[in-house]
Amino acid sequence: MINRVVLIGRMTKDVELRYTQSGVAVGSFSLAVNRPFKNSDGEREADFINAVIWRKSAENLANFTGKGAQVAIEGRLQTRNYENNQGQRVYVTEVVVDNFSLLESKA
């Protein structure tokens, strides 16, 4: 079975970097990826894809990118669910990033 995702897009905000209780870095971010067609008004729409990245890669991504940066990510699609404070079941789909490439300089 294959579960591979490759995306190129722009970061919608800076990486939200935090650390687990055991000290492992984890970063969360969202990538805006343009759709390959235009809508009825002639404008391009985008999908906003949530992603998570771990360990040293998370720290590197947080240090070398920011909102608006164009990046390529590669990883796998993951779904999970949890119960929020209101007792509702919340479902999350995200890309777990294995590799990333910076497609433009930070400046």
The full set of domain ranges for the chain reads 5-102
Q: Which two tokens stand for residue 45?
A: 């729409």
Secondary structure of the chain: what % helix, strand, coil (to 5)? 10, 60, 30
| Neighbour-count burial of 30, counting CB atoms closer than 10 A to its CB (0-12 exposed, 13-18 middle, 19+ buried) | middle
Q: Indicate the pTM of the whole model.
A: 0.84
As a whole number of angstroms, the distance between CA 33 and CA 103 comes to 14
User: What CATH number does the domain located at 5-102 have?
Assistant: 2.40.50.140
As a whole number of angstroms, the distance between CA 1 and CA 87 comes to 34
Per residue in 24-72, pLDDT (tens digit) is 999 999 999 998 888 888 888 899 999 999 999 999 999 988 899 999 9
